Amino acid sequence: MHISEGFLSPQAIAAGWAISAAGVAWGLKKMDSGKIVRVSMASSVFFLASLVNVRIGPGSTHLSLIGPIGLILGWTAFPAIFTALLLQAVLFQFGGLLVLGPNTAVMAVPSVMASLFWGPAVRSGNAKIAFAASFLAGSAPVLLGTVIVGAFFLASDRELAVAAKTIFLAHLPLAAIEGTAALFMTLFLRRTFPDILRGVDRT
Amino acid sequence: MTHGVFPSCGDFAHESRLDALDPRCRAICAFTCAIAIASLRDVTALLAASALPLLLLCLDGKRGLRCLARHLLTANKISALVVLFLALTYPGERFFYLFSARGTVMALFVIWKLNLISVVLLRMAASMGITRLGGAMEGLGFPLKLRVLLLLTMRYVFLLALRVAAMSMAVNLRMGKDGGNRCVSGYRAYAYMIGTTLIHSSDRSERAALAIGCRGGMSGFSSAAQSRWTWKESYACLFFFIYSALLIAISLSHAGAAMPL
């Protein structure tokens, strides 16, 4: 999901930074000073969780968990993802500093969308609806993220359309796995600590 | 402390001759140069752009070089799949029935740019470490909430790393090597592990927020280090601006041979 340095044109980078700046500003506005610790704790948990290897058949991968982070943080997912990606770029060179803006847009926009579209269904009293919404809240953001990656690629060079489609198709299995992990996680949180799913910006 | 979760040589921060410069100056110079390199579209301009990263490579000792090499390897590994897609899916003539000639040239071009930008940003900005980067953000007028969030996230990443490492080891031990439904049970164990850590961290964050409130709230996060902008910083910025402008001028003068990216 990370876009590396060198792939995007300056226009696409500027667009990514503009989207991120707007999202981060709005997220910070929605975040009370007293909630910063909670947002930073959640951000660091997801940062660490995304470093853990998860097996897929003979291989392994790192999950992004952008759907669940959106469900828990709401709009404050924007600054949380920005800081987590900044740390990843500085500590491990995942992504990069120049493309930090586009990468934040790629992950934070689907994350907030998951909170807005699937959040109420995940918290609903109907178990079947919550079950389906939890899966979708995990998988749909991954696919939306790849669509945004594709949009950035197309903004850089129109002939990258096939590459963008290939990236989308390559992420389909990962979306299913992310959906499964999000499903188990939200069902667990619904049973043990349902308040956490209301979102930091709403509590 | 973070063994098992963080890759080795995780933090790139190290002593450097560039430490003589103000963090704000380093951040401004790094981003100006990186944007200029990102905008380059021909080989001549990229050759000219390679001079500065090479100079930066020569500045620090062996430890810095080793760490930089590891980070560059990671950056190249992460982009390898997309670079491969680029070579396979780009329109135009094919060789070995699979690879697009234009796509392969562009992939090599992208890898070159990726490494140049990474060297500049790692040497100039990332080597400052998060604390000094936070100081630079303060000097450049970033919102206080964002800086506090960055510093706290950094702190809690190191604080929770041991716990996540221990829990993921426990999950791996319990899952064993065999079992018909290993994947799904693995995802469930992984999801429960994150859920449990989230609940514990939520409790802990309530207490941490109270403690921070007792210590003076967010006003306690102002940087203690005095920033100093002298003629050295001004000359460094001037040099980087002129260098970046020259690169763009070279690129524009070779517009006919430009690559799409």
Could A184 and B188 be called an inter-chain contact, meaning their C-beta atoms sit closer than 8 Å?
Answer: yes
Q: Which residue of B has its CA nearest to A192?
A: B199
Would you say B109 and B156 are in contact if contact means Cβ atoms under 8 Å apart? Answer: no
Residue B213 has pLDDT above 90, yes or no: no
Would you say B65 and B57 are in contact if contact means Cβ atoms under 8 Å apart? Answer: yes
Least confident stretch, A16-25, B107-116, B214-223, B246-255: B214-223
Residue B242 has pLDDT above 90, yes or no: yes
Cβ neighbors of B260 (< 8 A, separation 6 or more) are A156, A157, A159, B41, B106
* Residue A113 near chain B (CB below 8 Å): no
**Residue B11, CA distances (Å) to A45, B2, B130, B138, B157 in order:** 18, 11, 9, 21, 12
* Residue A182 near chain B (CB below 8 Å): yes
ipTM value for the complex: 0.88
Measure the CA angle with vertex B97, ends B91 and B103; round to 5°: 30
pLDDT digits (tens, 9 = 90+) for B52-71: 888 888 876 676 777 788 88
Average pLDDT over chain B, rounded to an integer: 80
Which residues are B247's β-sheet partners?
none
Question: Hey, is A32 helix, strand or coil?
Answer: coil
Please tell me which of the candidates A45, A162, A166 has its beta carbon nearest to residue B197: A45
- Which pLDDT value is given to residue B155? 84
Q: How many CB atoms lie within 10 A of CB B63?
A: 11
Residue B195 has pLDDT above 80, yes or no: yes
- Which pLDDT value is given to residue A144? 93
**Whole-structure pTM value:** 0.86
Could B149 and A40 be called an inter-chain contact, meaning their C-beta atoms sit closer than 8 Å?
Answer: yes
pLDDT digits (tens, 9 = 90+) for B157-194: 888 888 888 888 887 777 665 544 566 777 888 888 88
Residue B1 has pLDDT above 70, yes or no: no
Please tell me which of the candidates B6, B154, B212 has its beta carbon nearest to residue A37: B212
Q: Is A46 left (phi over 0), alpha (psi -120 to 50) or beta?
A: alpha
- Which pLDDT value is given to residue B2? 40
Q: What is the CA radius of gyration of chain A?
A: 16
CATH topology of domain A10-198: Arp2/3 complex 21 kDa subunit ARPC3 (1.10.1760)
- Report chain B's terminal Cα–Cα distance, integer Å: 42
Residue that wins the pLDDT comparison between A84 and B214: A84
Residue B10 has pLDDT above 80, yes or no: no
Q: Which residue of B has its CA nearest to A58?
A: B183
- Which pLDDT value is given to residue B222? 63
Quickly state the pLDDT bin for A15 (edges 50, 70, 90). very high
- Which pLDDT value is given to residue A122? 87
How many residues are recorded in chain B?
261
